[in-house]
Structure 1
Amino acid sequence: MSDLMLKYFREKQQKVQTENVYNTQCPFCSMQCKMQLIEEKVISRKHYKSIGKDNPTSNGRLCVKGMHAHQHALHPERIKQPLMKVNGQFQEVSWKKALEVIKEKFTHIKKTYGPNALSVYGSASITNEEAYVLGKFARVALQTKYIDYNGRLCMASAATGANMTFGMDRGFTNTIEEIKHTRVIILAGTNIAACQPTMMPYLEQAKNNGAYIIAIDPRETNTTKLADIHVKIKPGTDIDFANGMLKVLVENDMIDTSFIHTKTHNYDNLQRYLSTLSLEEIATKTGVPLSDIIQIAKIFGSEPTGMIFTARGIEQQINGTDTVRTFLNLLLITGKIGKKYCGYGAITGQGNGQGAREHGQKTDQLPGYRSIENKSDRQYISKVWGIEESDLPRKGVSAYEMFKKINQNEIKSMLIMCSNPIVSNPNANFVKKALSKLSFLVVADLFLSETAQLADIVLPSTSYLEDEGTMTNVEGRVMLREANFPIQGNAKHDWQIICEIARVLKKEKYFPYTSAEEIFEELRIASRGGKADYSGITYERMKKEKGVRWPCPSTQSNETTILFKEKFAHGDGKARIFVNELHPNLSKPALSTTYPLYLTTGRVMSHYLTGEQTRRSSSLRAREVEAYMEIHPETAKLYHIRPNSLVRVESRYGSIIVRSRIVSTIRKDTLFIPFHWDEKQNVNKLIDDTLDPYCQMPGFKLTVVTISCMDR
C-alpha cells in the first residue's frame, strides 16, 4: 500500500469519532439472516453498512435486500408521530389524542353494531409475540371473530395441504442442512434465487454432490438454470403434471409398499384414479413432453433419497391446496418422508410467515396451531387468557372475505397492522373501494402506504432495527431478533400499540406486558401441548443455541430436526394420500379470443411484497425502478410490441400500463409481471378473486389477459 493511501486511511480513522454495532435480523424473507448494522460517525455525519452475522441457517450470508435494509428504516419519510385525518388532510397529534379517538370510535361502533362490526388485519412480518398479542387483542379486547392476516395470500395452501396430509405444518419437515445431501430435488413453482437468495448455496452444494434437480416453472430463471431439467409447464396445470408422475411411479412399481401400508391411508383409491388417466393427455394439457414426465418420475422413484420444495408458483392457485397435496403424494408413495435427506419444504415467503400462522392471527386458529372450533382447544386458551370459554368468539372469514363483509356493511371498522392490502390483494380495485366504505380505519405502519392514506388514524410503528422479538424461519427455527437501535421519533413497537389500545378500552388487565420477553413467556404456556409447541423454548436458550426448531415441549428436550420419524400427526399416526378424483379441479380461467394470454406474477430479488420498504431504499429502487412485463419475442411481434414499449395489460377486473421486456425465457402463451409496485402499476388489479375452497388462497398465478401497445 502506498504512503499516500496509508495517510488517507489514517486520517479517515482519526475522523471516526464513534462506531456503534447493532445486532438484528433481515426484515425480509423467511431465511431470517442474522446481521449487524454498523454505524460510523465521521465528524457530524453518520454512515451505515449492514454485514452478515454467522448463524445456522444462512451461515453469515446476506442478499442485496439485507445489505440495504437499513435505508428504509432510516428513511426521512418514516412516520414518527401519530397522524389523524382532519378535513381530508393528515395532522400530527399526540398518542393521547389518537388513543382517545380510537377508544371513542371503537366503543361507539361496538355498542351500535356489536363486536363483529370491528375487525383486525394482521401480518406475517411481525414477531411471534406481536402475532400472538394481536390474535388475543381481537378476541379479548375487541371480542370480534373477524381477524385474519396477509399470510392468507402467501402460504395458506401449503399450510393447509401439509395439515391435511401430514396432520401438521412446519414449513420444512427436515433441516435445511440436509438439502446438500439428498439425491433428487423437485422445485415446484419456486424461484429461490430471487426470493430466498441465501438458500441457493444449499442447492449448489447438492448439485456438486451429485443431486439431480428438477425445476417446474413457466419461466426460465436463475433458479431453473441450476436444474438438470426445467419443466416449462403451462400455467395452472401443475396438479396434472404431478398426477402424471404418480401414474408412472405406480405403473413401474417404483413405490415403497411397506411404507404405504403401514403409514398411509387411501392408496388403493389413488391407484384406481391414476388408472383412469392418460399420460398422453397429461402431456398435451401441461405442455410437457411425455418423455420428460416419464424420465423425471423414474429419476425420483429410483433415488434412495429426495426432497420436494413448493412455493407460490403452485400454491397461489385456486386449487393450490389440492396441488400441494398431490405433490406430497409423491413423497408418501415412495416413502421419502420422516427420514434423513427426505422430506417436504414449503418455501415460506414472508419473514415470519411460519410463526405468524401458528399463534392466532388466522381466523380459525388459536395459539400453538390450535383450532378455534375445537372445544378442548378453546377451553385451554380461555383458561390461559383468564376469560370464559363462552366469551371466546368463533371463527370468522379469511383476509379477502373480510373486504366483502365491509362492502356488505357488516364490518364497520378495521385495525390494519404492518400490511398494505390495497396493493397485495386480488381484485385490488374492489379492496380499495371496500376500505373506503369503513366508518373508521386505523393503520399501524412505518410509512404512509397506499392503504394508510385511506386511514382516519395512522400509528407509527418501530422497524426491525428497533423492535426485539422472535421470528420463526423457513425451517421452523425460532430465533431471537435482537433490536436495540434508538427508536425513531415517537414510534412504538406493534405490541405496545396493541397494549395501549387495550388499555383505553379498559382491557389492560389482559395485556399487562412490559417487554417482548414477557409476552413470549405467556406464548410458551399458550402453545404448550399444541402442534406448534414452543413451551421448551426460552430467550436464554435461543441465544445459546442460535435458535430452536419446534416442536420443543420442555426446556430439557431437544429441538425437533426431522418430523414424522415414528408417525404422522394425525390421531392414528398415518398420513392421508389425496385423490384428486374426489375433489375435481375448480373452474380456472381459460384462454379465449377476448383474453388470449396467460398472466403470472411473482417477485424480483431487489424488492419485497408491495414495495413499501424496498422502494424507499435508493440502492434497491435503482435496480428496478418500475414494473415491467416479460413477453416472448414471437408474442411481442404478433402484438406489435417493441422493447421498452408501454403496454396496456387488461383482464376483466381492470387494467394497468407497464413497460415491455422481450425475453426468450418465457412461454409464448404467458406473460410475467412482478407485484411490488404501487396502484398505478399494481398487477393485482387484474387478478380474479376466486378463492381456494380449503384455505381461501387467491389465484394470483393464473389470470387471462389481453394486451395492446400504447406506443403507436
Structure 2
Amino acid sequence: MQNTATPTHCPYCALQCGMNLTPTPDGTVEVSERADFPVNRGALCGKGRTAPAVLARNVRLTSPLVRDEGGALVPASWDEALDRIAGELRRTREAHGPDAVGVFGGGGLTNEKAYTLGKFARVVLGTSQIDYNGRFCMSSAAAAGIKAFGLDRGLPFPLEDIPKSGCVILVGSNLAETMPPSLRFFTELKENGGTLIVIDPRRTRTAEQADLHLAPRPGTDLALALGLLHLVIAEGRVDEEYVGERTSGWEDARAAAMAHWPEYVERITGVSVPELRETVRLFCEPESAMVLTARGPEQQSKGTDTVGAWINLCLATGRAGRPLSGYGCLTGQGNGQGGREHGQKADQLPGYRKLDDPAARAHVAEVWGVGPDSLPGPGRSAYELLDALGTDIRSLLLMASNPVVSAPRAAHIEERIRSLDFLAVCDVVLSETAALADVVLPVTQWAEETGTTTNLEGRVLLRRRAISPPDGVRSDLEVLHELAARLGVEKGFPTDPEEVFEELRRASAGGPADYSGITYRRLAEENGVFWPCPAVEEAVEQAVEEGEDALLDAPLPDDPARETPAARTPGAHPGTPRLFLDRFATPDGRARFVPVSHRAIAEEPDDEYPVLLTTGRVVAQYQSGAQTRRVAELNAAAPGPFVEIHPRLAARLGASEGDPVAVVSRRGRAVAPARITTAIRPDTVFMPFHWPGEGRANTLTNPALDPTSRMPEFKACAVRLETVGRERAG
C-alpha cells in the first residue's frame, strides 16, 4: 500500500474539488488540502471532507447479493450473480424483444463507465431504453443552450471569470449549501466591486450574500426574465450593434417580451416594479455581466423556455460570447456533464452526437465495429422510462442511481420498480432502490478506481486510484465486461479505464464534445483540459478552414479571455476554456433568439391544494442521501427531513416549531417536522428531498414534463398542509 498522497477529486458535486488522499491503516484514506486546483483552491465542504467514511467495510457492500426463494437478499458468488443477470436479460429479450430491457445510469459514473454503459445497452442488449438521472439535473438548460448557441456546456467559461465580471444574476441556486467552495468566487465578485443578484423564493444562505434578492413565486421565473427584457427594450438598453452582428431572430423575441409589461409581471411573480427596474440597472450598467441558472428555473415543465428567456436577456444586452460575460448553467451532479456527453442519455451518442443523425451513427458504429443500422434509435427519457417499468420494460439494469428517493412521484415509481420481472443494481451501498433488486453487485468507489469526470466548467479531470478495493468488490467496467461476454460479445468491453478512454477519444472525435486531443498523460500533468479539444490533426484542419494562422500560439497574458491552462503538452490543442468568443456553434455562427411567453406551471394551487411546494437540498446531504446518510458527522448536522413554513401560514395551520406536519399533494402524503421561518414566502413551503420513508419529498412532486427536455416539474406543485392527528387544515 502506498503511503504518499494521491492528487484526485471529490466524488460528489460538479465542482469536482481537488483533494489529496493518503492511505490510512484502517484501509480507507485521509483527505487533505490540494491548493493547486483552481476550482476550490484547497477548500472542501463537509461532504468532501467526510467522503472516505463511505469507503469503510461496515458501511458499504462487499459481496454480491441474490434474492432467494424466500424473498431475502443473501450473499452469493460473483459467477452466480452475473450468470443470474445475464440469464434474466437474455430471457427478457427473447420473450419480449430488446426494448423490454431497460438501462438506467447515473450522473456519478465516470466518463469511461457512462460511455461503456451506453455502448453495452446499444451493442450488447440492442435496446433503445437507456437514460440516466442526469435528465433530472440540467436537461432544460442543455436544451435551451443548444437552441440558442448550438452547443451545451454547463459553463462556457471558467469559474475564475466570475469575480472579474461586473454583475452576476444567480437564478434558483443556493450555492452556499449545494456547492459551498464556489461561494468564494461570488464573495470575490463583491470585493472587486461587482454586484450579486440572487433570485430565489427563499431567503437562503446564498441570498443573504446578495446585493439584491428577488423572491418570486415558484414557477414564475419565465415571466420574471421576460419582464426584465421588456424593461431593457423600453429603457433603450439593447445592444443593437451586437444584436445585429452576432444574433438572429431578435424581432420575434422582442415582440414576445413586449407583451410582459412590468405591472403584469409584478402580479404574476410578486416581484415589485422598482425591484425589476433596479435589477435591469445593475445588470446593464457594468461593461460585463453574467446570468447563471440552476435547478430552480430548470426543473419546471417549461424549464427550456425559462432558461431561453434568460439567454434572450443576455443576448439582447450583448452579454454572451464576450469576455467576462455570458450565460451559464451550474450543473449539479459530479459527472452530470460528461454522463450525457458520452451515451447515457436516450437520444445521444458519444461526443454529444445525436442518435438520429446518420453521420453520427456511422461514425460511432465504425468505432464500435458494428453496422449503423444495428444501433437502436432514441428511447424514452428518464421519467418515461421509469414509468414504463413492469409494462413495456420488463427487466432493468441500474447503475449508480436511487430513483425510489430521487424520482418525481416517487411512490408510483417505487410501485413500478416492484412490478419488474427482474431488477439488477450496481452500487456501493444498499440504497432504497438496491434493496428492491433481485441481484445487487458491489462496485468500486472513487478512491478505488481511476477514471475521468467532466466538471461544470467543461473541464475534463482525472480521478486517480489511491487504494485497492476490498475483496469481493469489482468495478462497473468489469461488470459490463463479464455481462457482455455472457451475452455473446467477447470483445469491445475492456476493463482498463485508460483503454476505454482511448476508444472514447476516437468516438468523440469531430463531435460537439470532442475529447480526441485529451489523454490520461495530459490530464495527469495539467489541472484538467476544457473540451472541445480536438486532436492536433483535426485542430490544424479546423484552423486552416477558419483562416487562423496561429491556433496553438500562447495567448497574450493581459487578455483573460484568451488565457489557457498554465501547463499543457507541447504541440497539443490547448482546449477551450471560453466558448463563443468569435462565433457561436450554429451553422451561421450567430446566436439565435428563441421567442417565448409566460405560461403557468402544470399544477396551480386551488381551494383543495392552496399552497405551493418547492424542493431542494441542504448542505450536509447529497442527492438521494444514499451515501451521505451513512456518515455520522453529516447526519448529526442534518438528521432528517423538515417542512419550511412561513409564520403566517404556520399560524393559520396551528403548527408550532417541530410539530409534525403532513404535506399532501395529488400524488401522496409526506410527514416531517415544521421549521418556521420568515425565509420562505407565505404562499410556499419547502422540503429537502434527501430522505426516504414518510418524509420523502418526492412522494409529492409532479412528473409533468417539459416538452423539449423531458425534465419533470420538481420545483412547483400544489399541496395542502395538515397538522398530524387533526382534520384537514389550510
Structure 1 residue identity aligned to 2:527: K
1:47-126 matches, within 5 Å, as: 49-53=30-34, 54-86=36-68, 87-126=70-109
What's 1:434 paired with?
Answer: 416
What's 2:541 paired with?
Answer: none
What's 2:534 paired with?
Answer: 553
1:591 matched to 2:573? The reply is no
521-530 or 702-711: bigger deviation: 702-711
1:102-501 matches, within 5 Å, as: 102-407=85-390, 409-501=391-483
Q: Measure the CA separation in 2 of the matches of 1:213 and 1:633.
A: 28
Q: Measure the CA separation in 2 of the matches of 1:259 and 1:414.
A: 50
User: Secondary structure of the residue that 2:607 maps to in structure 1?
Assistant: coil
Q: Measure the CA separation in 2 of the matches of 1:489 and 1:530.
A: 40
Q: Is the 2:338–2:453 Cα contact (8 Å) retained in structure 1?
A: yes
Structure 2 residue identity aligned to 1:358: E
1:35 matched to 2:19? The reply is yes
Deviation at 1:575, TM superposition (A): 1.3
Residue of structure 2 aligned with 1:515, choices 491, 496, 499: 496
441-450 or 267-276: bigger deviation: 267-276
Unmatched 5+ residue regions in structure 1? Answer: 1-16
Q: Is the 1:646–1:711 Cα contact (8 Å) retained in structure 2?
A: no
What's 1:570 paired with?
Answer: 586
Q: Measure the CA separation in 2 of the matches of 1:149 and 1:622.
A: 31
Q: Is the 1:442–1:457 Cα contact (8 Å) retained in structure 2?
A: yes
What's 1:604 paired with?
Answer: 618
* Deviations 1:455-479 (CA, angstroms, capped at 9, x unpaired): 1100111111112100101111000
Q: Measure the CA separation in 1 of the matches of 2:401 and 2:671.
A: 24
Structure 1 residue identity aligned to 2:506: I
Q: Measure the CA separation in 1 of the matches of 2:460 and 2:613.
A: 36
User: Secondary structure of the residue that 2:296 maps to in structure 1?
Assistant: helix
What's 2:552 paired with?
Answer: none
What's 1:685 paired with?
Answer: 699
Q: Measure the CA separation in 1 of the matches of 2:711 and 2:600.
A: 13
Unmatched 5+ residue regions in structure 2? Answer: 537-571
Structure 2 residue identity aligned to 1:426: P
Q: Is the 2:28–2:52 Cα contact (8 Å) retained in structure 1?
A: no
Detail structure 1 runs of 4+ shifted over 6 Å in the superposition.
Answer: none
Deviation at 1:311, TM superposition (A): 0.3
Change (3 A) 1:352 1:616: same
Q: Is the 2:300–2:601 Cα contact (8 Å) retained in structure 1?
A: no
31-40 or 212-221: bigger deviation: 31-40
What's 1:6 paired with?
Answer: none
User: Secondary structure of the residue that 1:510 maps to in structure 2?
Assistant: coil
Structure 2 residue identity aligned to 1:153: F
Q: Is the 1:51–1:62 Cα contact (8 Å) retained in structure 2?
A: no
* Deviations 1:124-160 (CA, angstroms, capped at 9, x unpaired): 0010000000000000010000000000111111111
Change (3 A) 1:37 1:680: farther
1:517-556 matches, within 5 Å, as: 517-555=498-536, 556=572
Number of residue-to-residue matches in the alignment: 689
* Deviations 1:525-581 (CA, angstroms, capped at 9, x unpaired): 000000000000001111111210110112521111211111111111111112114
Q: Is the 1:422–1:428 Cα contact (8 Å) retained in structure 2?
A: yes
What's 1:626 paired with?
Answer: 640
Deviation at 1:274, TM superposition (A): 2.6
Q: Is the 1:645–1:711 Cα contact (8 Å) retained in structure 2?
A: no
Q: Measure the CA separation in 2 of the matches of 1:338 and 1:562.
A: 8
Q: Measure the CA separation in 1 of the matches of 2:578 and 2:5.
A: 36
Q: Is the 2:615–2:687 Cα contact (8 Å) retained in structure 1?
A: yes
Structure 2 residue identity aligned to 1:411: I
Q: Is the 2:64–2:440 Cα contact (8 Å) retained in structure 1?
A: yes
Q: Is the 1:219–1:665 Cα contact (8 Å) retained in structure 2?
A: yes
Structure 2 residue identity aligned to 1:267: W
What's 2:671 paired with?
Answer: 657
* Deviations 1:99-144 (CA, angstroms, capped at 9, x unpaired): 1111211111111111111110001001000000000000001000
Q: Measure the CA separation in 1 of the matches of 2:501 and 2:29.
A: 31
Q: Measure the CA separation in 1 of the matches of 2:389 and 2:692.
A: 23
Structure 2 residue identity aligned to 1:37: L
Deviation at 1:508, TM superposition (A): 2.1
Structure 2 residue identity aligned to 1:632: H
Change (3 A) 1:40 1:688: closer
Structure 2 residue identity aligned to 1:576: R
User: Secondary structure of the residue that 2:446 maps to in structure 1?
Assistant: coil
Deviation at 1:273, TM superposition (A): 2.2
* Deviations 1:27-72 (CA, angstroms, capped at 9, x unpaired): 111110111233444xxx6785322213122111111110001111
Structure 2 residue identity aligned to 1:456: D
Q: Measure the CA separation in 2 of the matches of 1:319 and 1:263.
A: 26
* Deviations 1:76-99 (CA, angstroms, capped at 9, x unpaired): 131111110002001111111111
Change (3 A) 1:366 1:19: closer
* Deviations 1:482-510 (CA, angstroms, capped at 9, x unpaired): 01312123111112111111111111212
Q: Measure the CA separation in 2 of the matches of 1:436 and 1:710.
A: 29
Structure 1 residue identity aligned to 2:21: L
* Deviations 1:303-326 (CA, angstroms, capped at 9, x unpaired): 210011100011111101100010
Q: Is the 1:24–1:464 Cα contact (8 Å) retained in structure 2?
A: no
Q: Measure the CA separation in 2 of the matches of 1:116 and 1:586.
A: 35
Identity of aligned residues (%): 41
Q: Measure the CA separation in 1 of the matches of 2:599 and 2:275.
A: 24
Change (3 A) 1:352 1:529: same
Q: Measure the CA separation in 2 of the matches of 1:216 and 1:80.
A: 44
Q: Measure the CA separation in 2 of the matches of 1:275 and 1:485.
A: 59
User: Secondary structure of the residue that 2:702 maps to in structure 1?
Assistant: coil
Q: Measure the CA separation in 2 of the matches of 1:392 and 1:630.
A: 48
1:506 matched to 2:522? The reply is no
Q: Measure the CA separation in 2 of the matches of 1:339 and 1:18.
A: 46
User: Secondary structure of the residue that 1:414 maps to in structure 2?
Assistant: strand
Structure 2 residue identity aligned to 1:132: Y
Q: Measure the CA separation in 2 of the matches of 1:232 and 1:410.
A: 43
